[in-house]
A and B are shown apart, each in its own frame.
Chain A
Amino acid sequence: MTISIHHRDLIARLAAAEVNYILVGGLAVGAWGHLRATEDFDLVPDPDSENLSRLIGVLEELGGRVKQGEQMLDSGSVRIYIRTGDKAYVVTELGDVDVLQGLPQIPRYAELETAAEEADVEGLNVRVCSLQHLIEMKRAADRPMDRMDLEALKTAHPKAFEEG
């Protein structure tokens, strides 16, 4: 089975559908300067009902299906998971999308939005979580990868850690 990653195209699809979200996770770590490969596109969506409908629409158009552990769920599961505000790991034809909602270690969208930074990716606007929020999330998750990310971010942005 071939699992391609075309997250740049995914960004374009989300932008075209006017989906509001904040980018977090490994790609946000990359945006803040620590370049490493990652397999999923982690986003925190605006919980506004119409926005979630637009997000669901994009994911369904891309053949999205929720993956829970080893189990791939029915295509209708995308709507159920996102509507109920649960975390949803969605496998799509453009790569995996981790829709993060309802997790204690992830700040709510409204809080992330106030401090998010704009990133221009070849004409496409992506809102990336602030460095401080990224550091907070990495500290809370505290997995081996998060600790490596924190070490790299500390080298890149030492002042952000002094202030914290």
Chain B
Amino acid sequence: MDEPSTEAELRAAGLLGRSPEEHWRDNEIAREDRLRQAAKMPLGVNLAAALELSALAAELRDGLRRHLASKSS
């Protein structure tokens, strides 16, 4: 069976116009699925991703600090 693709089909399948609670539950399901998938990956692959994420988070933080400092000066 084809995946619903039109607005009417998405509404009929309950995939459009979902409540905040349903969105939250969808996110939780996606988060748990990611964790289960990551558990199957080699440690080195996960570790490389963790290193990259931490470096990116630090860059974003520093960029935000610079932006806020330039606004206040």
Chain A residues packing against B (C-beta within 8 Å): 2-8, 11, 23, 26-27, 29-39, 95, 117-122, 126, 128, 152, 155-157
Q: How large is the interface on B (under 10, 10 to 19, 20 to 34, 35 or more residues)?
A: 20 to 34
Task: Write the residues of chain B forming the contact surface with A, with a CB cutoff of 8 angstroms.
Answer: 32, 34-36, 38-39, 41-44, 46-59, 62, 65-66
A6-B55, A120-B42 as given contacts; A31 in contact with B50, CB under 8 Å: yes
Mostly, the A contact residues are mixed
Our pick among B47, B55, B66 for the contact of A30 (Cβ within 8 Å) is: B47
B35 and A152 form a contact (CB under 8 A): yes
A-B pairs with beta carbons under 8 A, tally: 98
Name 6 extra pairs, CB < 8 A, besides A7-B51, A8-B55, A119-B42: A4-B59, A26-B50, A34-B35, A36-B53, A39-B58, A119-B43
Q: Is the interface of B mostly helix, strand, loop or mixed?
A: helix
Expressed in whole angstroms, the Cα–Cα distance for A118 and B45 within the complex equals: 12
Asked whether, in the complex, the Cβ of A30 is within 8 Å of the Cβ of B53, the reply is: yes
Nearest residue, chain B, Cβ from A126: B47
Q: Is the beta-carbon distance between B36 and A30 smaller than 8 angstroms?
A: no
